[in-house]
Chain A
């Protein structure tokens, strides 16, 4: 089983209102979480990315954590305070250039002794583009063709130094990139930093099958996980790859307590904190596409219908079929007698592992044994102590069962993940 830690941040999972919630930006928070993950012998530490603060009705979203530091810089600093832990940065392929990113990732790989990973994401919306030279220049349809060419160009750059330490000039003339010259960083300890993909569309899965070492997914139920696992792994053969060449790691939350009952109680309380009264109304507005601030979150659903075409939501995506969602939510609230807030809690609850350490360890193991996952990316709801209980109480059980390593056996992230060093293609 492979385990990774996600730094909690800009999402509704993170409970900032808890008194134990520390800084989202001070380096000490990152250091604590990374050291905890390393103490638990995790494969890697993961940072997400956003390139525009989320907005709602033209104003910056203010109800969840806002703001974060830049990933590669944080990970280079973390390389100084950790020894074995892999260091994964999410960096967009749409608003960057291959030469610069290949150089920055090769640098991280050198400076960390072979622990770098790159989660390739692809947002292409004009909203994000407003912070960049080229604006929203890419059609949604093109984002994965650019990402695929971006990754293959980066690989050509990483391969332009032969293992004997001699650089060869490179030239790449493609549809999205036309670059040539000499790469200035020698081949890094991992040959190529590990490549992660997060995205669920058919194009995303195909890109992952052809180019990624790890897939970060949201499929958190056993059935959905199995279907996803089988689908993505089934695509590998046509790229000449084996099932073990690509690790599937869903993002999951964990609530652990002395007993299953206590953990269930804690989980319910966490859900209430995640869906504040204000967040409940906001969730509704994202469906309805209009201002619903006058409604009582502890009261019944609005009788008005959603706006079919609404420019009300920006930077936080409006649901695809608002009428269907509104109908479903209304029906649920009527059937169970739930308030607005209770309904939102009920319908947006993500699959998570909740229970005693034994229950959680058994649940995780069942996923891996059942071919629904190769491992997990844990998304704690608290910074910086959100991983402590898992590492102190669940990891030892996984180790006892022989499901997870007791010591690091290698020094690079590829070694932790059981991935071969990429063959040099000079």
Chain B
């Protein structure tokens, strides 16, 4: 290992719509075999395919270590339901859940709900930030040791350790506390694609992992520095977040391509810069960018999941492991452990113990 920081790798397992769980399970196990940090499953109400969070819950008991990060809409959903579902994904996966918060800006999606027209992007992202904020408070609303089962007093919980959150946002309010007790990771991992300015602002404030786009290592380093700068304005340190470069990858069927490289097209909108080449070429790119300190890692979207993910794991990842740039097994159990992110304490527990000390 040439730097002190570990490299992080994640992969998208979505593609053309499939409804058999074994398809997704096969891909997640492949990624798990490569010791990747997590798999993502993209989703949108207008995209054909099953509900992503449900799919990852379906495969959770059949996997062991891989992090599970579904895309979740914050525009047409109830923040209370979203936080319950993500916390439950953390329970059924024993600490491997994340969620990728996203917004829906199209009228087509708004009409599927018929509640309101799609707000402008700025407002949508403010609302997504509120959803992430309310969610984190709900996850904190049960202190870790709230369940006491004290038969002497007949109390199942210590009600002083279960808190109303009284969240008042611009778009909604939530009284709390959560229905779901605090999940294994304390707070499941929040991932946000910070490509656009409003999304990046929310990501810097609320996300644990930020995906950015770049076509050169310099661009990646600049995006990472920008995220860090914005995060610092909210009192967050760079240690609390990871910035991964998003790449859509087409590994074709050669070990190395005649002309490997990054392209701005064909555009796979939403999945980062397009890389075409062989698995070895991809390993070269990851090594170079990573050694240059341009990113904490990469989020790879194989354009043909079954083919490209296999080549990523058995080609690219194997080579990175051979070069001691990437781990060969998961040393921890939870997604936070894979990412080297601390398990946060409940803010209410901190406030209460601070109050008690005073």
Q: Does B347 contact A (CB under 8 A)?
A: no
Is there an interface contact between A111 and B111, defined as CB atoms closer than 8 Å?
Answer: no
For A77, the chain B residues whose CB sits under 8 A away are 57-58, 60-61, 92
Is there an interface contact between A132 and B80, defined as CB atoms closer than 8 Å?
Answer: yes
Proximity string of chain A (58-79) to chain B, C-beta cutoff 8 Å, 1 when within and 0 when not = 0111111111111011101101
- What is the minimal beta-carbon distance from B294 to any residue of chain A, in angstroms? 36
- What is the minimal beta-carbon distance from A144 to any residue of chain B, in angstroms? 20
For A111, the chain B residues whose CB sits under 8 A away are 19, 21, 50, 54-55, 58
Q: Does B126 contact A (CB under 8 A)?
A: no
Among listed B147-155, B208-216, B221-229, B304-312, interface-contacting one: B147-155
Contact A73:B57 (CB < 8 A) given known A26-B91, A51-B179, A181-B111: yes
Is there an interface contact between A80 and B58, defined as CB atoms closer than 8 Å?
Answer: yes
For B77, the chain A residues whose CB sits under 8 A away are 100
Q: Number of residue pairs across A and B with beta carbons under 8 Å?
A: 177
Partner of B179, one of A17, A31, A67: A67
For B176, the chain A residues whose CB sits under 8 A away are 131
B50 nearest in chain A by CB position:
A107
Within 8 A of A (CB), among B54-112: 54-55, 57-62, 76-81, 84-85, 87-89, 91-92, 94, 108-109, 111-112
- What is the minimal beta-carbon distance from B299 to any residue of chain A, in angstroms? 24
Is there an interface contact between A76 and B57, defined as CB atoms closer than 8 Å?
Answer: yes
Partner of A184, one of B47, B58, B142, B177: B47
Among listed A172-180, A208-216, A324-332, interface-contacting one: A172-180
- What is the minimal beta-carbon distance from A35 to any residue of chain B, in angstroms? 12
Q: Does A53 contact B (CB under 8 A)?
A: yes
Q: Does A336 contact B (CB under 8 A)?
A: no
Q: Does A103 contact B (CB under 8 A)?
A: yes
Is there an interface contact between A17 and B87, defined as CB atoms closer than 8 Å?
Answer: no
B158 nearest in chain A by CB position:
A62
For B155, the chain A residues whose CB sits under 8 A away are 62-63, 278
- What is the minimal beta-carbon distance from A346 to any residue of chain B, in angstroms? 19
Within 8 A of A (CB), among B158-194: 158-159, 162, 171-181
Q: Does B33 contact A (CB under 8 A)?
A: no
Q: Does B157 contact A (CB under 8 A)?
A: yes
For A133, the chain B residues whose CB sits under 8 A away are 78-79, 171-172
Is there an interface contact between A100 and B45, defined as CB atoms closer than 8 Å?
Answer: yes
Contact A70:B50 (CB < 8 A) given known A51-B179, A80-B62, A111-B58: no
- What is the minimal beta-carbon distance from A178 to any residue of chain B, in angstroms? 4
Q: Does A110 contact B (CB under 8 A)?
A: yes
For B154, the chain A residues whose CB sits under 8 A away are 17, 63, 276-279
A91 nearest in chain B by CB position:
B81
Q: Does B53 contact A (CB under 8 A)?
A: yes
Q: Does B329 contact A (CB under 8 A)?
A: no
Q: Does B133 contact A (CB under 8 A)?
A: no
Within 8 A of B (CB), among A368-396: none
Contact A70:B84 (CB < 8 A) given known A27-B94, A181-B46, A186-B19: yes
Is there an interface contact between B156 and A66, defined as CB atoms closer than 8 Å?
Answer: yes
State in angstroms the CA–CA spacing of A106 and B180 once bound together: 24
Is there an interface contact between A69 and B78, defined as CB atoms closer than 8 Å?
Answer: no
Within 8 A of B (CB), among A126-146: 130-133
A135 nearest in chain B by CB position:
B173
B48 nearest in chain A by CB position:
A184
For A79, the chain B residues whose CB sits under 8 A away are 21, 58
State in angstroms the CA–CA spacing of A151 and B153 once bound together: 44
- What is the minimal beta-carbon distance from B86 to any residue of chain A, in angstroms? 9
State in angstroms the CA–CA spacing of A164 and B180 once bound together: 40
Is there an interface contact between B142 and A67, defined as CB atoms closer than 8 Å?
Answer: yes
Is there an interface contact between A74 and B88, defined as CB atoms closer than 8 Å?
Answer: yes
- What is the minimal beta-carbon distance from A214 to any residue of chain B, in angstroms? 22
Q: Does A367 contact B (CB under 8 A)?
A: no
For B109, the chain A residues whose CB sits under 8 A away are 181
- What is the minimal beta-carbon distance from A53 to any residue of chain B, in angstroms? 6
- What is the minimal beta-carbon distance from B77 to any residue of chain A, in angstroms? 7
Is there an interface contact between B179 and A73, defined as CB atoms closer than 8 Å?
Answer: no
Q: Does B119 contact A (CB under 8 A)?
A: no
- What is the minimal beta-carbon distance from A199 to any residue of chain B, in angstroms? 21
Contact A73:B157 (CB < 8 A) given known A80-B60, A179-B112: no
Is there an interface contact between B179 and A70, defined as CB atoms closer than 8 Å?
Answer: yes
For B149, the chain A residues whose CB sits under 8 A away are 16-17
State in angstroms the CA–CA spacing of A240 and B21 once bound together: 37
For A110, the chain B residues whose CB sits under 8 A away are 19-20, 50
Interface centre among B50, B61, B108, B147 (most CB of A within 10 A): B50
For B357, the chain A residues whose CB sits under 8 A away are none
Is there an interface contact between A66 and B80, defined as CB atoms closer than 8 Å?
Answer: no
27 A-B pairs (CB sep. < 8 Å): A17-B151, A26-B91, A61-B159, A62-B159, A63-B155, A64-B156, A67-B179, A68-B180, A69-B88, A69-B180, A70-B179, A72-B54, A73-B53, A73-B89, A76-B54, A80-B59, A96-B78, A99-B76, A104-B54, A132-B78, A132-B174, A133-B79, A179-B114, A180-B112, A181-B111, A184-B45, A185-B48
Which A residues are closer than 8 A to B by beta carbons?
A: 16-17, 25-27, 31, 50-53, 59-70, 72-74, 76-77, 79-81, 95-97, 99-100, 103-104, 106-108, 110-111, 130-133, 177-182, 184-186, 276-279
Known pairs A69-B180, A100-B113; list 7 more (Cβ under 8 Å). Answer: A52-B175, A59-B159, A66-B162, A67-B157, A99-B45, A110-B19, A182-B46
Q: Which 9 A-B pairs have the closest CB atoms?
A: A278-B154, A76-B57, A73-B88, A77-B92, A130-B175, A70-B84, A178-B114, A70-B88, A69-B88
